[in-house]
């Protein structure tokens, strides 16, 4: 009996299904190729684990690192249990593997993500890595993505910034100490200068002014009188630092008010000031009132001489 040929409609349907399946297979191959290309293009060292911790796949960076560092395992490390590798390495150092614990927590669902930065130094250089463990998204069996990114440049920059900050802190501390010492030195210098000035003015008042006053009363004539006047002028120059500071007051004093203020500070009475400056007593009192007004000494209990002495300190 002759074999019957399939009907044209059935044959067409069969061809269509085969073509559709071929398209799906080709698309899957393209997707797998794209995924492989992307995985191998990453700078991070990436491994894909199953739910038991076995390595299903690694990328090019993972293999290259394992080969360059002569790890005691196959460079691709496929079908090896990564959890056991971590546990074994930790046991050799006498501790428990935080990495293995973190991966197990992600597998169990206790953690969405496990991250860790750690040193991984070689005999030739210091290195640091950043590890990240997550679950792969999407349908299908559980897959765990483990990545190790080299963060040596970042860590070295952080260390440099920390060291620079510490160095700047130390320099700032030294500058502050030097500034404090300089302030103390300046304060001592200023105090010494004020003491010397006070001694000069005091000696002028106690030792020299009385002699000049007596000489003036002698009514000396000619060159002697000129010498006395010249000596009086030179002595006035010695008190100029005090007079300069007094003249910088916000209230502007007249030259004669500055002279009166200087003599008041020296402790001279109104009568003595009048005699030394050849003024009337009423004129000296007038200057006293103006000084108090310009120095804002409205309180009559404030001693004018004490105020003027404190003015230079």
pLDDT value of position 250:
44
Tokens encoding 19: 């073509």
**Domains of the chain, each with CATH number or no CATH:** 35-150 (3.30.450.20), 195-311 (no CATH)
Q: How far apart are CA 51 and CA 226, in angstroms?
A: 115
Strand ranges (DSSP E) for 50-197? 55-58, 113-119, 128-135, 144-150
Q: What is the pLDDT along the chain (313 residues), one digit of tens a residue?
A: 455 555 666 666 666 666 566 556 556 566 667 877 888 888 899 999 999 999 999 999 988 888 877 665 565 678 889 999 888 888 887 777 889 999 999 999 999 999 999 888 888 888 999 999 999 988 889 999 999 999 999 989 998 999 999 999 999 999 999 999 988 888 888 778 767 766 766 676 667 767 777 777 777 777 777 787 777 777 766 665 565 566 555 446 777 887 888 888 888 899 988 988 888 999 999 988 888 887 777 777 778 888 887 765 5
CA-based nearest residue to 312, from 244, 252, 215, 253: 244
pLDDT value of position 138:
82
Tokens encoding 75: 């460079």
Tokens encoding 206: 């106690």
Cβ 264 vs Cβ 305: under 8 Å = yes
Cβ 256 vs Cβ 287: under 8 Å = yes
Determine the straight-line distance between the first and last CA of the chain, rounded to whole angstroms: 137
Q: How far apart are CA 37 and CA 31, in angstroms?
A: 10
Q: How far apart are CA 78 and CA 80, in angstroms?
A: 5
Handedness of CA 106, 110, 115, 116 (dihedral sign): negative
CA-based nearest residue to 244, from 233, 253, 232: 253
């Amino acid at each position: 009996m002759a074999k019957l040929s399939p009907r044209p409609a059935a044959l067409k349907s069969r061809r269509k299904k085969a073509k559709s399946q071929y398209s799906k297979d080709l698309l899957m191959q393209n997707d797998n190729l794209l995924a492989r290309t992307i995985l191998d293009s990453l700078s991070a060292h990436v491994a894909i684990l199953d739910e038991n911790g076995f390595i299903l796949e690694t990328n090019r960076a993972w293999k290259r690192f394992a080969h360059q560092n002569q790890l005691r395992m196959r460079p691709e490390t496929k079908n090896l249990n990564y959890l056991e590798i971590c546990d074994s390495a930790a046991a050799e150092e006498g501790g428990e593997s935080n990495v293995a614990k973190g991966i197990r927590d992600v597998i169990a669902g206790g953690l969405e993500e496990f991250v860790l930065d750690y040193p991984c130094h070689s005999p030739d250089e210091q290195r640091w890595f950043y590890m990240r463990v997550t679950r792969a998204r999407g349908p299908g069996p559980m897959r765990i993505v483990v990545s190790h990114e080299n963060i040596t440049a970042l860590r070295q920059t952080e260390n440099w910034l920390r060291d620079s900050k510490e160095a700047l802190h130390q320099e700032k501390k030294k500058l502050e100490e030097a500034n404090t010492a300089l302030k103390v030195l300046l304060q001592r210098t200023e105090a010494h200068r004020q003491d010397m000035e006070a001694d000069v003015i005091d000696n002028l008042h106690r030792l020299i002014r009385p002699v000049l006053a007596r000489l003036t009363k002698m009514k000396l004539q000619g060159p002697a009188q000129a010498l006395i006047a010249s000596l009086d002028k030179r002595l006035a120059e010695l008190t100029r630092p005090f007079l300069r500071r007094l003249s910088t007051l916000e209230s502007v004093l007249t030259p004669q008010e500055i002279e009166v203020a200087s003599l008041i500070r020296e402790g001279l009475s109104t009568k003595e000031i009048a005699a030394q400056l050849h003024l009337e007593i009423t004129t000296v009192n007038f200057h006293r009132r103006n000084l108090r007004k310009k120095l804002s000494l409205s309180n009559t209990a404030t001693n004018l001489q004490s105020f003027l002495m404190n003015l230079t300190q």
